[in-house]
Structure 1
């Protein structure tokens, strides 16, 4: 394929991929809705900052209304709640034999497959720490798990080709036949990360706080119970051990996983989640509905009650709407559910 890889969303995830690929000589074109960011990436270049590596790379970038042509490979890297809108804009630019790879958090592969077809959808799991700091600037806080796989479990030539591209950025990237196992694992970890954004404390402080442990464990257990009902066996990564949060597991392995997560997150320059930045810095809506809310909906279809997940969604909405502040008291509204 001679056409550029089209990256739709040049933020924390897409921007880093674009910068690494462009630096390696891979033809790349990024699309973003922030004009100042588009101008910076195409002009003086996108600056990748942080302890992993620092460099500046010019990456061609346009706004959606400026995009022309069709592309065989589109990497979708927008927030989960922006998926539907992005698909409506990008589909006319998807080549007849092309596909969309979801480099997002959540189960967006389901949404993409409904829109462009399951045979034109590839899944990916990313856990590296990154933040959009401002136009033309992205923090690369730490390396972490990167996984790619077809949603039907097959390994095709296109999957292998995209895996090789991901290895340019992350040499340890994994090619899997069970991408859903990683995506559901991330949902369990992600639910806990949303809880850490209920206060101004860092991820590490949250995972290391014994008083917050029961609520964090309870959230992960609700997700893992739902994953099991879906017939999925979630995979471990970066300190998150799904088996420790299964309904039949005791507290000891769950507490050990929290300790491992505290250690893992203590080693990154990204001290707080992107969820925290959405709430405290950028003052915008989070991905709580398509990441946490959707699990509660799936659980309900299986007859599984998820009081912690439902309360977490409500608390995040309260902060988004200015009805609550980010504090330890807000976090412990979750703890009250356990009483």
Structure 2
């Protein structure tokens, strides 16, 4: 029986996340096939290979890359690395290529594991939490700007052979990657931190500079607190990482703990060559839709179901859409506008 532990690795989505992880695995000798729907990116990888740039390492290597419609065969190990709002379409497209006994690991932001599970069966999904800094720069070029937490876990908390094998594989990319029996705790922790990143993206300032702004500390804190309040109402205990302390932002969290967490997040982001979030890059550089509905939408929906109000999150979602539509510029004044929702 196929255990889902062997064979080539299919990286579906070769942007910042998939491109970085896949490049390291390919360099280590793994058989990797990259899939991406950007024809120029695929063409560049086919002709000149894939280049990783930045302060961590710089290297380039020849890789195999195809468009989604060109994928052939079935794979036991598939890493889904597309933007959250493209998850459903990607999961449906890759389904015919998932081998019996194989799995899909969601290397994304948000709660996409459950969207993937609707398409292929939740038992065939492995959860992943990632917080390293990377950006797609141009066809065939990825910036790997800073290391960050990498955590893997089965959605039911079990410790399985396939999870151990995936962990050994990911160590070739991130030596400090860990396994957990509470991947949902990490994913909800990332939702809180992700809400902060969306708030930083409404300005042209860097992540660290916005998080350090005393004038807007109240609304930033409220943004994270809404996500943590919803998690608490669901009976979840979000996990911390890279300076983000969920307990500080949880209901009844201490103001000193909040300040300490904000300071640690500022320090963490100052160490990265990736100064702005991928959200900001989608808005300011690539001028395309963001993951706002897929990432922050569940906070609002689950909050409504649990009787937890989320006015700042709702206002932030609307504000991001206004920026996407060209109806609102990127400006510090947006943070003051967001504060009006308090």
Choose which of 225, 230, 234 in structure 1 pairs with 2:229: 225
Runs of 4+ aligned structure 1 residues displaced above 3 Å come to: none
Deviations 1:314-337 (A, max 9, x none): 000000011100001112111111
Alignment of 1:108-127 (within 5 A): 108-127=112-131
Contact kept? 1:19, 1:58, Cα under 8 Å: no
When the two structures are aligned, how many residues end up with a matched partner? 338
Equivalent residue for 1:269?
Answer: 273
User: Per-residue deviation at 1:226?
Assistant: 0.8
Rounded to whole Å, the distance in 2 between the matches of 1:310 and 1:324 is: 16
Alignment of 1:133-144 (within 5 A): 133-144=137-148
Comparing 327-336 with 301-310, which one deviates more in the overlay? 327-336
Equivalent residue for 1:57?
Answer: 61
Choose which of 170, 181, 190 in structure 1 pairs with 2:194: 190
Choose which of 235, 247, 250 in structure 1 pairs with 2:251: 247
Choose which of 66, 74, 79 in structure 2 pairs with 1:75: 79
Rounded to whole Å, the distance in 2 between the matches of 1:210 and 1:104 is: 31
**Contiguous gaps of at least 5 residues in structure 1:** none
Contact kept? 2:185, 2:239, Cα under 8 Å: yes
**Residue 30 (structure 1) aligned with residue 34 (structure 2):** yes
Contact kept? 1:12, 1:139, Cα under 8 Å: yes
Alignment of 1:307-322 (within 5 A): 307-322=311-326
Rounded to whole Å, the distance in 1 between the matches of 2:325 and 2:95 is: 32
TM-score (norm 2): 0.97
* CA-based RMSD: 0.9
Equivalent residue for 1:260?
Answer: 264
User: Per-residue deviation at 1:3?
Assistant: 2.4
Rounded to whole Å, the distance in 2 between the matches of 1:232 and 1:168 is: 31
Instruction: Give SS of 2:127's match.
Output: strand
User: Per-residue deviation at 1:2?
Assistant: 4.5
User: Per-residue deviation at 1:39?
Assistant: 1.9
**Residue 209 (structure 1) aligned with residue 219 (structure 2):** no
Equivalent residue for 1:173?
Answer: 177
Choose which of 6, 9, 18 in structure 2 pairs with 1:5: 9
Deviations 1:65-117 (A, max 9, x none): 11111111110000000001101111011112111100000000111112211
User: Per-residue deviation at 1:43?
Assistant: 2.5
Rounded to whole Å, the distance in 2 between the matches of 1:294 and 1:42 is: 38
Deviations 1:2-54 (A, max 9, x none): 42110100000000111100100011111001112112223221110000000
Choose which of 42, 45, 68 in structure 2 pairs with 1:41: 45
**Contiguous gaps of at least 5 residues in structure 2:** none
